[in-house]
């Protein structure tokens, strides 16, 4: 009997997958927050996080759907709460029983929206903000990620990075199976147009600041493809609103990444890489051993310079191990989260005092009275370097010189 190539790959990877399967669920590793340890900041009060949802999952609100929506994108506005005692880098979930707001990150409220309501609500949330607080962060999750897991991770990142703008989760259907990689890639491919449209529409929101993208794993490929499509359509910088593009352990072939970057340059693209990322090792094996961007060895100058030549900043997260798999350190390490927040909060002199004030007609009044402003975020006092020689770019803020210390953001998440 002839064995198919897919079956051969399954058998070849079975030994490794047997070791990695528990941690690969959701492509969001170690949700108990191993890196949110004793040194992580602890919140003393519950914190609400408002999260806009755009979903290509089937069914209203896309709840737990594993198949593509046949009737367009579904929208929602959710509120999740971060528990008192939350440790940065952790996603608190119950070991057994039901979740509660005192101890866990929970969904407190969900409201389904249509496309017009989504646009109006987004404009309303942007209105009245000043400077970098007018920014929008779009989070795109990775392979094998249920909706609930994606929402929790997005809320945790917003809270721990102290992002002061408006947060949006773009969620797409995944099979929720370890061997669903090929199926998930197909669904990510089918979701490119929806993400492209979402980014385009957000950038057209009255008074919006910059639109940042944080994408993990296969979500990095999806985000870069959507931005590439928008660039081919004639808008490579979202009408001047494209901010930071942050790719965490991106599951992208090196040659594909080069083609994407050629369309997007001079976009501000940052790659968070881990040389011993075993999840990306599996992806590489499925792709005939082709190197993934998120698995380069940033401690090796030739590997790092290969990405830098394309216009990307590269940071080595190898020292921020989140366990055996090493695929989720970007969200589990408090210092990395603070640096991500700082990267988005870097002051922009050209619009430091710019304000969005939306009236009932959608007009932005430049003479509107300024609302009470939240404290302006600054860059955190971090100077993170991986213990390797030669050293990769230190993980402080990509827009600042490596010798310049920064200050920690003080803006509360909205």
| Tokens 């590793």 sit on residue | 29
pLDDT band of residue 322 (cuts 50, 70, 90) is: low
> Buried (b) or exposed (e) across 259-294, using 16+ Cβ within 10 A?
ebbeebeebbbbbbbbbebbbbbbbbebeeeebbbb
d(CA 117, CA 351): 28
Lowest mean pLDDT among 48-52, 130-134, 363-367: 363-367
pLDDT band of residue 74 (cuts 50, 70, 90) is: very high
Percentage of the chain lying above the pLDDT 70 cut: 66
Domain layout of the chain by residue ranges? 5-348
Q: Is residue 407 over pLDDT 80? A: no
Helices then strands, each counted (H, E), the chain? 11, 9
Q: For the chain, first and last CA: distance in Å?
A: 59
Q: Which residues neighbour 199 within 8 Å (Cβ) at sequence distance 6 or greater?
A: 138, 211, 213, 226, 227, 230, 238
Q: What is the mean predicted confidence (pLDDT) over 229-240?
A: 96
DSSP state of 3: P
Q: What is the pLDDT of residue 327?
A: 53
Q: What is the pLDDT of residue 43?
A: 57
Q: What angle do CA 338, 273, 394 make, to 5 degrees?
A: 55
Report the mean per-residue pLDDT for the chain: 76
Of residues 42 and 143, which shows the higher confidence score?
A: 143
Q: Is residue 384 over pLDDT 80? A: no
pLDDT band of residue 291 (cuts 50, 70, 90) is: confident
pLDDT band of residue 345 (cuts 50, 70, 90) is: confident
Q: What is the mean predicted confidence (pLDDT) over 109-113?
A: 96
- Alpha carbon dihedral 315, 320, 326, 330, in 10-degree steps, equals -60
Q: What is the pLDDT of residue 288?
A: 59
Q: Is residue 135 over pLDDT 60? A: yes
Q: What is the tens place of the pLDDT at every residue in 50-73?
A: 999 999 998 655 444 555 666 689
Q: What is the pLDDT of residue 193?
A: 97
Would you call 166 helix, strand, or coil by DSSP?
strand
For the ranges 24-38, 221-235, 374-388, 391-405, the one whose mean pLDDT is highest:
221-235
DSSP state of 60: G
Q: What is the pLDDT of residue 246?
A: 96
Q: What is the mean predicted confidence (pLDDT) over 6-32?
A: 41
Q: What is the tens place of the pLDDT at every residue in 152-187?
A: 999 999 999 999 999 999 999 988 776 778 889 999
CATH class of the region 5-348: alpha beta
Strand order in the sheet with 47-55: 106-113, 74-82, 47-55, 166-171, 136-140, 211-216, 242-248, 268-273, 312-316
Q: What is the pLDDT of residue 195?
A: 98
Of residues 212 and 281, which shows the higher confidence score?
A: 212
Lowest mean pLDDT among 14-23, 181-190, 266-275: 14-23
Q: What is the mean predicted confidence (pLDDT) over 305-314?
A: 94
Q: What is the pLDDT of residue 67?
A: 59
Distances 276 to 68, 269, 292, 315 between C-alpha atoms, Å: 32, 22, 12, 14
Looking only at the bridges linking them, the beta strands covering 106-113 and 47-55 are unpaired
Q: What is the pLDDT of residue 97?
A: 83
Q: What angle do CA 135, 136, 138 make, to 5 degrees?
A: 150
Q: What is the tens place of the pLDDT at every residue in 26-52?
A: 443 333 333 333 334 555 678 999 999
């Amino acid at each position: 009997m002839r064995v198919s190539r897919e079956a051969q790959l399954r058998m070849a990877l079975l030994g490794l997958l047997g070791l990695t399967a528990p941690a690969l669920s959701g492509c969001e590793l170690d949700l108990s927050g191993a890196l949110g340890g004793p040194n992580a900041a602890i919140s003393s009060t519950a914190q609400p996080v408002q999260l806009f949802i755009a979903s290509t999952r089937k069914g209203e609100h896309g709840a737990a759907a594993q198949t593509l929506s046949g009737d367009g994108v579904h929208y929602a506005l959710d509120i999740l709460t971060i528990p008192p005692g939350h440790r940065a880098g952790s996603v608190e979930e119950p070991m057994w029983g039901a979740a509660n707001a005192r101890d866990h990150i929970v969904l407190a409220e969900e409201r389904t929206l249509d496309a017009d309501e989504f646009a109006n609500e987004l404009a309303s949330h942007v209105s009245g903000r000043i400077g970098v607080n007018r920014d929008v962060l779009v989070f795109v999750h990775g392979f094998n990620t249920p909706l609930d897991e994606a929402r929790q991770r997005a809320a945790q990142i917003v809270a721990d990075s102290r992002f002061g703008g408006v947060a949006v989760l773009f969620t797409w259907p995944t099979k929720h199976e370890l061997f669903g990689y090929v199926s998930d890639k197909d669904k990510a491919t089918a979701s490119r147009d929806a993400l492209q449209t979402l980014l385009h529409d957000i950038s057209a929101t009255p008074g919006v600041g910059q639109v940042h993208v944080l994408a993990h794993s296969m979500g990095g490929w999806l985000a870069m493809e959507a931005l590439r499509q928008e660039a081919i359509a004639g808008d490579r910088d979202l009408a001047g609103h494209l901010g930071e593009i942050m790719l965490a352990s991106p599951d992208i072939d090196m040659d594909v990444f080069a083609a994407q970057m050629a369309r997007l340059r001079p976009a501000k693209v940052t790659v968070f890489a881990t040389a011993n990322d075993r999840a990306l090792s599996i992806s590489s094996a499925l792709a005939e051993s082709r190197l993934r961007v998120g698995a380069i060895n940033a401690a090796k100058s030739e590997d790092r310079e290969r990405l830098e030549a394309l216009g990307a900043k590269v940071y080595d997260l190898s020292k921020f191990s989140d366990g055996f798999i090493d695929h989720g350190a970007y969200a589990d390490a408090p210092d990395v989260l603070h640096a991500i927040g700082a990267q988005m909060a870097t002051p922009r002199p050209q619009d430091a005092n710019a304000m969005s004030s939306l009236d009932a007609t959608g007009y932005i009044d430049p003479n509107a009275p300024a609302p009470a402003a939240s404290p302006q975020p600054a860059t955190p006092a971090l100077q993170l370097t991986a213990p390797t020689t030669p050293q990769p770019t230190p993980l402080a803020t990509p827009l600042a010189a490596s010798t310049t210390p920064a200050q920690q953001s003080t803006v509360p998440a909205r």
